[in-house]
Structure 1
Amino acid sequence: MLKMRKGLGIIAALAIVLAGCGTNNSNNTASPSAAQPEGGETQPAQETLKPVELTYYFPGSPQKDLQTVEDALNKLVQPKINATVHLKLIDWGAYEEKMKVVMGSGEPFDLAWTASNFNNYFQNVANGAYAPLDELIDQYAPDTKKGIPDMFWNAVKVKGEIYGVPVFQQSTAGYGYIIQKAVADKYNLDWKSVKQLSDLTPFLETVKKNEPNLIPWEYSQGVDPFLTAPPMFGLETLGDPKTPGDLYLNDGGKVVNQYETPEFKEYVTMMRDWFSKGYMRKDASTLKETSADRKAGKNALQLGQIDIDTLAFEQAGLEATGRMSNSNKDVHSYDFQFVKPLLTTDKAAATITAISANSPNKERAMMLLNLLNTDKEIYNTLVWGVEGKHYKKVSENRIETITDSGYQTFSPWEFGNMRLTYLFEGDPKGGEVDNKFTNMWVDLNTNATASNALGFVFDFTPVKTEKANVDSVIDELYYAISSGSVDPGKYLPQFLEKLKDAGADTIIAEKQKQLDAWIAEKQ
């Protein structure tokens, strides 16, 4: 998954996602120890192509040197596909709304980053925002197709058609938490003893009492534990994390309203306690992302979508500085996983690049996507910037970023095939030797437990109206409740009633209908 360099997923983000990824599958098979993807053979000769301009929207923290990177990228791209790329980087907190406006207006852009749980890929497909890509992939990106396992392609199919190119990255959804190493060591905290989220309460209390300059627990709309980490609560997402209708991990056949579960009530009650005790920022419910806090090293503890944790790196003989160092190289962390990896559809579709249905240059846009998935120099220029200005090479596959250089996205999970990425300070020392670290996460993707509904994709089309109405209710009340900013005893019943009035039961019934049909087809 998104390594927490996003801040979970992401995000990375997420970013933010949190902080915000081939495998051996039956058909398209990529060996876990395969060499980096190779490209170039499938592109038409540059001289046969007329010059075009491509507009590429993606989210991230503002970068003052974006134009420099765009110029460097185009020096590499233009000779190959005779295209000039315009990078439209939108701040994480504004990206989702910006793309709604762009797509709603019919603006003719070419490419856009999207995801199962952010800038909702499946909803945008249902709304006709993205172009179908099967023929374009077969004609202009066969190398890309070979380099991404079938399970990832299946995760982005809607009614049997592909509408986005998934990023092959760390997608196995293990979960846990991340704690500043200095804090854990200073107070002798038994950070390996945690078995569930509530076990963090005494750690947070220690930070609150003794570290007034630190935020005990990171919370924002981009790293809400219930939406970001459903398996932590024994659930898995169907469609997207917000929409009512999940499965229990131990029951892959019955769709439930996750907001009506005892697990959700217990969670929001705990969050109310944490918020009331000052463990989170007072503006947690309206906070879109926390990249500034991460860069400043202000978070003592935070949620972690963790594929490989500190203990696993130690067992492999690798030294890792932890996910917090992805945002601030001077802040090291212990990363601890207490929910084992699970590969779910929403995580396989956690970061995607789509081509606009209104793009005037769909073929060239696909050629660019093929380059980002197969050309190491082009991929790393977009991810890390210009060598010597934004980073320096320390070995063939490892770099050191240059502080305050003007371009530091820390988002290799956001573009192309992550097998191509250079390792950097946040990655384990020695991991670049024989691609050891890359092979670890590829193996993990291969061997992770598959969810009961892996490959099931919910088609929102029959419930588009109800989906829009439910989204409005969630935007109005969910984050206030889930951040603990309001009393769940008063507001949770109101929230559930409004969801029902908005059509939650209709959505759940439609999910059950489609899931039953999907299960029947498999038998």
Structure 2
Amino acid sequence: MKKKTGRRSLVTLTTAALALSLLAGCGGNNNSGNSANGANSGTDGNKDTAAATDSTTSTAAPAETGIDTSKKVELQFYMLGDAPKDLPVIQDEINKMAQEELNATVKFNYTSWTDWDQKYKLLLSSGQAIDLIFTADWTQYQSYAKRGAFLAIDDLLPKAAPELQKFVPESMWEDVKVDGKIYTVPATYKEYVTNGFVYREDLRKKYDLPVPKDLASYEAYMDGIVKNEPDMMPMSLNSDIGNNLHYIYTELNKMIGALPYGMGVKYESPTTVYSYWGSDEQKEELKTMKRWADKGFIPKNVLNIKDTMQDPMTSGKAASMFGDNPTRYNDMKMKISTTHPEWELAYSPFGLTTGYATPVHPIHNGFAIPKSSKNPERALAFYEKLVLDKRYNQLTQYGIEGKNYTVEDGYYKLVGTSTSNGFSREGMNGWAWRNPEFMLFDKGFDGVKAIFDELDKIQKPDLFLGFAEDYSSYQAEKAALEQVEKQYLFPLEAGLVEDIDKGLETFMQKAKQAGLEKIQTEWTKQWNAYVAEKGIK
């Protein structure tokens, strides 16, 4: 799960030229990869999930794996985010088992959340030897797979991870295919990562503020915070304005995903494509953000803030988040309960306002074998252990029982506090290898399950994540437009431009000079072809 928002982006595909350049950068081995964000969780382990096989506690000897394990290897495993403090201890325990059973050890590497996307791109283009790397829709899994960054694992699965192949439903294997090939192992845990308002309920009660359920009530809540808690940020923000303001705003307005190039498509009318940029709808968004900035909701230095979105909430510096997903909300709530039990956190899912919610697509959390891998068979065999062997799975998800956590009345309980404990729940960001049969939940997660139950009643399928853009005909224009967005659009979206009309006029002029109209025309053709092919109306 991602440390930013729970939003899901529509994936882009690259040109043959880009594919060749990436292959050259990866050293011409076999297939390399890319991935990157997010924290997620879902329904209870017995509902709409894949059942674990009888091999879930297997400790099979190397000879039973079907692969050659005669040579000892060290696997390079790359994760997004920040490593837990007790990672060396967990890694040592995992390696004791892996060395005996697979004649392998593993090195868990982390990108940190600071500029993770740039680091991720570098990992996949440098040719550095990597055996496993996180993938997701928001890390452009389809795009990287399309251009040859990952190794196709169709032929490897029955040899190196036959039980894992059986464990993942066939429909999920089909859903993650790119050009007919499998490049990632999908997570089987059902969850929602759609956004919702996160807010300090104790402060809401104390000052008799409205429950945030839509833009108007959320703004009124922040008004109350500014009035009564002037030293507290009314909402947590950082420099990623696109994800943490713009796309959350458009999700509330029923936009499909995180559409690029200012394109507008609503879930309820997917065949109608329009330009959001320059529209009255966008002007209303910019006016809202300008008003919020004038009221002090958005700090003037927001484009320079590099903190995570969650830290200000757990430290008490911020009173709300414009949007986050139910699982990350629960993570924050659990941390706060150990450090400030007098604080109370609450959540209002957007789905109850918009009228629908989409469960995550199978590509939302996964792991791929990059083309640069020197040990693809061993890597896949090890990943099978992470998913299907309870010892590996729970050790990497929860830490050491008795030291990092206990299980009381069937519930997970953190030992100590979130600051004193070196390995919190899912401390390795191992969302992709969650196994519903082994998952442990804290008592507070009952509230998240209740949210999921509510969203189940209004769920609609994600019909659009299969769209794969090919920007080969406008690659140069795309790069130029990205620079225009950074210079002229982001300040507008952060409410930092005094004259909205003039600022928007300047941005649109610069965007058109960069090739916006060509981009939007070609993108629209591809979108229309996609919905026609899929029979979406």
Instruction: State the TM-score, normalized to the length of structure 1.
Output: 0.79
Residues 1:298 and 2:317 are matched in the alignment:
yes
Q: Which residue in the other structure is 2:294 paired with?
A: 276
Q: Which residue in the other structure is 2:201 paired with?
A: 181
Q: Which residue in the other structure is 1:372 paired with?
A: 386
Alignment of 1:504-523 (within 5 A): 504-523=516-535
Alignment of 1:448-459 (within 5 A): 448-453=459-464, 455-459=466-470
Q: Which residue in the other structure is 2:494 paired with?
A: 483
User: Of 489, 493, 496, which residue of structure 1 is paired with 2:505?
Assistant: 493
Q: Which residue in the other structure is 1:357 paired with?
A: 371
Moved more, 331-340 or 444-453: 444-453
CA 1:231–1:322: 2 relative to 1, 3 Å: same
Contact 1:295–1:327 (CA under 8 A) maintained in structure 2: yes
User: Of 53, 57, 65, which residue of structure 1 is paired with 2:78?
Assistant: 57
Q: What's the offset of the Cα at 1:94?
A: 2.9
- Output the CA distance in 1 between the equivalents of 2:160 and 2:60: 8
Q: What's the offset of the Cα at 1:284?
A: 2.1
Moved more, 405-414 or 360-369: 405-414
User: Of 411, 417, 433, which residue of structure 2 is paired with 1:416?
Assistant: 433
Moved more, 486-495 or 67-76: 486-495
RMSD of Structure 2 on Structure 1 (CA):
3.8
- Output the CA distance in 1 between the equivalents of 2:224 and 2:134: 40
Q: What's the offset of the Cα at 1:168?
A: 3.5
% identical aligned pairs? 25
Residues 51-93 of structure 1, C-alpha deviations (whole Å, 9 max, x = no match): 2211112122353322122212223333333321111122111
- Output the CA distance in 2 between the equivalents of 1:107 and 1:228: 35
Runs of 5+ consecutive residues of structure 1 not aligned to the other structure: 24-29, 310-320, 432-436
Q: Which residue in the other structure is 1:198 paired with?
A: 216
Q: What's the offset of the Cα at 1:423?
A: 0.9
User: Of 122, 125, 142, which residue of structure 2 is paired with 1:122?
Assistant: 142
Q: Which residue in the other structure is 1:434 paired with?
A: none
Q: Which residue in the other structure is 2:422 paired with?
A: 406
Q: Which residue in the other structure is 2:13 paired with?
A: none
Q: What's the offset of the Cα at 1:278?
A: 1.3
- Output the CA distance in 1 between the equivalents of 2:249 and 2:152: 30
Alignment of 1:144-223 (within 5 A): 144-148=164-168, 152-153=172-173, 155-191=175-211, 194-220=212-238, 221=240, 223=243
- Output the CA distance in 1 between the equivalents of 2:91 and 2:334: 23
- Output the CA distance in 1 between the equivalents of 2:173 and 2:457: 15
Alignment of 1:226-265 (within 5 A): 226-228=246-248, 230-237=250-257, 241-265=259-283
SS in 1 for 2:423: coil
- Output the CA distance in 1 between the equivalents of 2:292 and 2:278: 21
- Output the CA distance in 2 between the equivalents of 1:473 and 1:296: 35
Q: Which residue in the other structure is 2:25 paired with?
A: none
Q: What's the offset of the Cα at 1:153?
A: 4.4
Q: What's the offset of the Cα at 1:203?
A: 0.9
CA 1:229–1:307: 2 relative to 1, 3 Å: farther
Contact 1:175–1:305 (CA under 8 A) maintained in structure 2: yes
- Return the letter of the residue paired with 2:404: H
SS in 2 for 1:236: coil
Q: Which residue in the other structure is 2:127 paired with?
A: 106
- Return the letter of the residue paired with 1:285: L
- Return the letter of the residue paired with 2:136: A
Contact 1:325–1:425 (CA under 8 A) maintained in structure 2: no
Q: What's the offset of the Cα at 1:180?
A: 0.9
Instruction: State the TM-score, normalized to the length of structure 2.
Output: 0.77
Moved more, 207-216 or 290-299: 290-299
Q: What's the offset of the Cα at 1:236?
A: 0.4
- Return the letter of the residue paired with 2:255: L
Contact 1:249–1:452 (CA under 8 A) maintained in structure 2: no
Alignment of 1:36-115 (within 5 A): 36=52, 39=55, 45-47=61-63, 48-49=68-69, 50-115=71-136
SS in 1 for 2:145: helix
- Output the CA distance in 2 between the equivalents of 1:155 and 1:483: 36
Residues 1:224 and 2:238 are matched in the alignment:
no
- Return the letter of the residue paired with 2:152: P
Contact 1:43–1:367 (CA under 8 A) maintained in structure 2: no
CA 1:66–1:513: 2 relative to 1, 3 Å: same
Contact 1:141–1:367 (CA under 8 A) maintained in structure 2: yes
- Output the CA distance in 1 between the equivalents of 2:326 and 2:106: 33
Contact 2:90–2:400 (CA under 8 A) maintained in structure 1: yes
Contact 1:56–1:88 (CA under 8 A) maintained in structure 2: yes
Residues 1:336 and 2:348 are matched in the alignment:
yes
Alignment of 1:383-402 (within 5 A): 383-396=397-410, 398-402=412-416
Runs of 5+ consecutive residues of structure 2 not aligned to the other structure: 9-35
- Output the CA distance in 2 between the equivalents of 1:418 and 1:479: 39
- Return the letter of the residue paired with 1:205: D
How many equivalent residue pairs? Answer: 487
- Return the letter of the residue paired with 2:493: S
SS in 2 for 1:185: helix
Q: Which residue in the other structure is 1:317 paired with?
A: none
- Output the CA distance in 2 between the equivalents of 1:472 and 1:306: 29
Contact 2:78–2:134 (CA under 8 A) maintained in structure 1: yes
- Output the CA distance in 2 between the equivalents of 1:144 and 1:261: 48
Contact 1:110–1:355 (CA under 8 A) maintained in structure 2: yes
Q: What's the offset of the Cα at 1:302?
A: 0.9
- Return the letter of the residue paired with 1:365: A
- Output the CA distance in 2 between the equivalents of 1:369 and 1:256: 43
CA 1:427–1:400: 2 relative to 1, 3 Å: same
- Output the CA distance in 2 between the equivalents of 1:138 and 1:260: 52
Divergent runs of 4+, >6 A: 41-44
- Output the CA distance in 2 between the equivalents of 1:201 and 1:447: 26
Residues 407-448 of structure 1, C-alpha deviations (whole Å, 9 max, x = no match): 33646663313523311264127x9xxxxx49x849966972
SS in 2 for 1:216: coil
Contact 1:322–1:332 (CA under 8 A) maintained in structure 2: no
Contact 2:62–2:101 (CA under 8 A) maintained in structure 1: yes
- Output the CA distance in 2 between the equivalents of 1:505 and 1:144: 46
Residues 1:32 and 2:48 are matched in the alignment:
yes
Residues 353-384 of structure 1, C-alpha deviations (whole Å, 9 max, x = no match): 22211111122222233233323332232232
